[in-house]
């Protein structure tokens, strides 16, 4: 089987809801990533054989095939095809898996995997809310599905509370993890750790003056346990708050995946080699703990142990997710989300997969490390795991 290589990995800086990226149409924002991937690698745009885009809320400005619209808004020729996929929060991580599989199969040599989500312009839940408001249909879950699992709905917020209770995490423990996420992200920003992975975009700032947006807006540089502790829990008697959950975020990200043949033909330098691609599914009610069995399967299939992995990116959808993962996998906390995670940096849903991969790959290079693992909890009780080798 052929190898798949990542030759560039980029992301926009996160924009808070109603923040710096609010005026960017998601197709235009995603197009900026496509352009940057081509520009930074100096590859012929016509060599791109497919663009695979992850997006969760495919309605409104993200409807009617946002992946294809990103291509049409970019400098890629209109002969480049695209496809838009939804694996919930893991959408662009799955886009990377599909791109790597295409290259590894030998059917394609140059594929872009990307993701986009404007949570300002297309709020989370819109695909479900709009039909309900219009009185159309009965929602995504049939009586048969709900009856099978004995619930009235599937909720990530319920799943997060269930995880905190199952694994015995107190509100204080979750807030302390959140505080560390902000501190690590603040330190990484001040040290320039994100400079290589962030692709600045023009935005309109104060006094209607244009500026470049190149720093994540969600980081609270003055975060404290006192401030986090003052936030209300999402449900009475619960542990989950807006402070120990991921932030609503606008953003786009992408990676360029190529074969060894393309490396030689286009004079490209690989950043990483894709070593393992795993996806599993389990309980859709608790939903968010699937990264644990998915990681076990990925390590087993790769013939590795968690101690072999130098850095891990585990999406901080809610603080209990990475905390439970750490304990159950027996991982080293010092290798986890070393530059902070979604609690501080934001979680732009469909863009988070390749966003985390950009951070992981560049962190491996900066620290002189070799092996990285990324995993993401996803709606419906699914999880992707990707293991890469930095080159």
Q: What CATH number corresponds to the domain at position 352?
A: 3.40.47.10
Question: How far apart are alpha carbons 338 and 312 in whole angstroms?
Answer: 8
Q: CA 192 → CA 9, 187, 330, 349, 362, distances in Å? A: 17, 9, 30, 24, 12
Instruction: Determine contact, residues 7/269, Cβ cutoff 8 Å.
Output: yes
Question: How far apart are alpha carbons 251 and 16 in whole angstroms?
Answer: 9
Domain extent, residue 179, equals 1-386
Please give the tally of structural domains in the chain: 1
pLDDT tens digit sequence for 1-26? 799 999 999 999 999 999 999 999 99
The residues pairing with 336 across neighbouring beta strands, listed in sequence order, are 312
- With a pLDDT cut of 90, the percent of the chain lying above it is 93
The reported pLDDT for the residue numbered 132 is 74
The reported pLDDT for the residue numbered 134 is 77
Nearest one of 80, 82, 101, 77 to 257, comparing CA atoms: 101
Average pLDDT over residues 248-270: 98
- CB-based burial, 65-74: b 16+ in 10 Å, e otherwise: bbbbbbbebb
pTM of the model: 0.97
Residue 377 falls in the annotated catalytic set: yes
Asked whether residue 209 is assigned to any structural domain, the reply reads yes
Residue 55 falls in the annotated catalytic set: no
Asked whether residue 391 is assigned to any structural domain, the reply reads no
Residue 362 falls in the annotated catalytic set: no
Average pLDDT over residues 281-291: 97
pLDDT tens digit sequence for 138-185? 889 999 999 999 999 999 999 999 999 999 999 999 999 999 999 999
Q: Which two tokens stand for residue 94?
A: 């799955």
55, 89, 97, 249: the catalytic one is 89
Average pLDDT over residues 359-366: 98
Angle between helix 91-105 and 352-367 (nearest 10): 70
Four-point Cα dihedral 304, 307, 311, 317, nearest 10: 90
The reported pLDDT for the residue numbered 129 is 78
Asked whether residue 328 is assigned to any structural domain, the reply reads yes
213, 275, 347, 362: the catalytic one is 347
The reported pLDDT for the residue numbered 215 is 97
């Amino acid at each position: 089987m052929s190898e798949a290589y990542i030759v560039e990995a980029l992301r926009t800086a996160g924009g808070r809801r109603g923040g710096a990226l609010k005026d960017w149409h998601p197709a235009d924002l995603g197009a900026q990533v496509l352009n940057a991937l081509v520009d930074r690698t100096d590859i012929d745009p016509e060599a791109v054989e497919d663009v695979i885009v992850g997006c969760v809320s495919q309605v409104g400005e993200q409807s009617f095939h946002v992946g294809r619209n990103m291509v049409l808004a970019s400098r890629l020729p209109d002969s480049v095809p695209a496809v838009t996929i939804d694996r919930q929060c893991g959408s662009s991580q799955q886009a990377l898996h599909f791109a790597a599989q295409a290259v590894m199969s030998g059917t394609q040599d140059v594929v872009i995997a990307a993701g986009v989500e404007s949570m300002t312009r297309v709020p989370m839940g819109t695909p479900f809310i709009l039909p309900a408001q219009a009185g159309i249909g009965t929602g995504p879950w049939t009586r048969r599905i709900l009856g099978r699992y004995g619930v009235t709905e599937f909720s990530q917020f319920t799943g997060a509370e269930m995880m905190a209770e199952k694994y015995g995490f107190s509100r204080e423990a979750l807030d302390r993890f959140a505080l560390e996420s902000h501190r690590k992200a603040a330190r990484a920003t001040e040290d320039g750790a994100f400079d290589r992975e962030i692709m600045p975009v023009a935005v309109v700032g104060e006094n209607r003056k244009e500026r470049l947006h190149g720093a994540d807006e969600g980081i609270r540089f003055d975060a404290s346990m006192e401030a986090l502790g003052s936030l209300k829990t999402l449900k009475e008697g619960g542990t989950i708050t807006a402070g120990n959950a991921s932030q609503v975020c606008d953003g786009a990200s992408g990676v360029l995946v190529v074969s060894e043949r393309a490396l030689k033909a286009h004079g490209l330098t690989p950043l990483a080699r894709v070593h393992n691609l795993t996806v599993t599914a389990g309980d859709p009610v608790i939903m968010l703990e699937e990264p644990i069995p998915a990681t076990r399967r990925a390590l087993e299939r790769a013939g590795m142990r968690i101690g072999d992995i130098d850095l891990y990116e585990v999406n901080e959808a809610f603080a209990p997710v990475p905390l439970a993962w750490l304990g159950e996998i027996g991982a080293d906390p010092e290798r986890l989300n070393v530059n902070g995670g979604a609690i501080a940096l934001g979680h732009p849903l469909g863009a988070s997969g390749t966003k985390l991969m950009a951070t992981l790959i560049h962190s491996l290079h900066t620290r002189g490390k070799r092996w990285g693992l990324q995993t993401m909890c996803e709606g419906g009780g699914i999880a992707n795991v990707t293991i890469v080798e930095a080159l």
